[in-house]
């Protein structure tokens, strides 16, 4: 199995659902327990990940100023995504910087190191959580062995469905598959691209123990409560 040393973190979004908090601050820099979400994300990475590629656009200069060329003992590199065309195009822009296996993750959700470590034990993997009801997250169809078969869009998910939480372990074979247009062609979806890849290669779907999506201002208080509980006294 190829080694993994790089994590791509998606940090380019406008954060429109978080306004007015994101009027002057990029969403990944919003504080949770006094620290930017993106700091928690980088710290959640296993030790074998020594390099982070941040995909930036909105207020990118503030993210660059905060993290510089290295942070927390890891090299930091930046890829600009001037046209926000979805996660598929964001990853495509990073292709020249990627070798071997790599982690891809959202820059505005909270994850746990132990879940990422579990994913890295597989050649290809995506983290998932059981859905609590219909929502905005895509869900996975899996086979009897727990491998990806297809993606079901968010509006069709129901309780118990395994929803996509936006953390992947991939390798360069993903670039053998074309970006998949979604939202009437306005964006290109990475989940749909990985679903194409799964027709030829096993992609494990793994249940994560901890995940906090942060989509709306009220989610910040929930994130603080859940993170406090996880960190303990």
Q: What is the pLDDT of residue 98?
A: 96
Question: Across-strand partners of 80?
Answer: 56
**pLDDT value of position 188:** 84
d(CA 56, CA 12): 4
The whole-number pLDDT of residue 156 equals 55
Nearest by Cα to 29 from 16, 8, 15, 48: 15
How far from chain centre, in Å, is Cα 91?
11
- The whole domain housing 164 covers 4-231
Q: What is the pTM of this model?
A: 0.92
Domain with 222 in it: what CATH number? Answer: 3.90.550.10
Calpha distance 136→1 (Å, rounded):
34
pLDDT tens by residue, 157-216: 555 689 999 999 999 999 999 888 877 767 788 999 999 999 999 999 999 999 999 989
Extract the residue ranges of the chain whose pLDDT is less than 50. none
Structural domains counted in the chain = 1
């Amino acid at each position: 199995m190829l080694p993994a040393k790089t994590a791509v973190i998606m940090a380019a979004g406008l954060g429109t659902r978080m306004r007015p908090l994101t009027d002057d601050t990029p969403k990944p820099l919003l504080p949770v327990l006094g620290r930017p979400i993106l700091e928690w994300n980088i710290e959640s990475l296993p030790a074998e990940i020594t390099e982070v590629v941040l995909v930036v656009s909105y207020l990118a200069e503030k993210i660059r100023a905060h993290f510089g060329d290295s942070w927390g003992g890891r090299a930091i590199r930046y890829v600009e995504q001037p046209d926000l065309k979805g996660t598929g195009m964001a990853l495509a822009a990073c292709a020249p910087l990627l070798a071997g296996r790599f982690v891809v993750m959202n820059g505005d959700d909270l994850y746990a190191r132990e879940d990422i470590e579990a994913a890295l034990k597989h050649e290809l993997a995506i983290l998932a959580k059981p859905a609590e009801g219909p929502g905005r997250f895509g869900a996975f169809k899996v086979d009897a062995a727990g491998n990806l078969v297809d993606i079901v869009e968010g509006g069709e998910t129901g309780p118990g469905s395994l929803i996509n939480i936006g953390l992947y372990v991939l390798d360069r074979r993903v670039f053998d598959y074309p970006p998949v247009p979604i939202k009437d062609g306005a964006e290109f979806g990475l989940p749909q691209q990985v679903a194409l890849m799964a027709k030829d290669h096993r992609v494990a779907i793994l249940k994560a123990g901890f995940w906090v999506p942060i989509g709306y201002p009220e989610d910040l208080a929930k994130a603080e409560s859940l993170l406090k509980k996880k960190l303990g006294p």
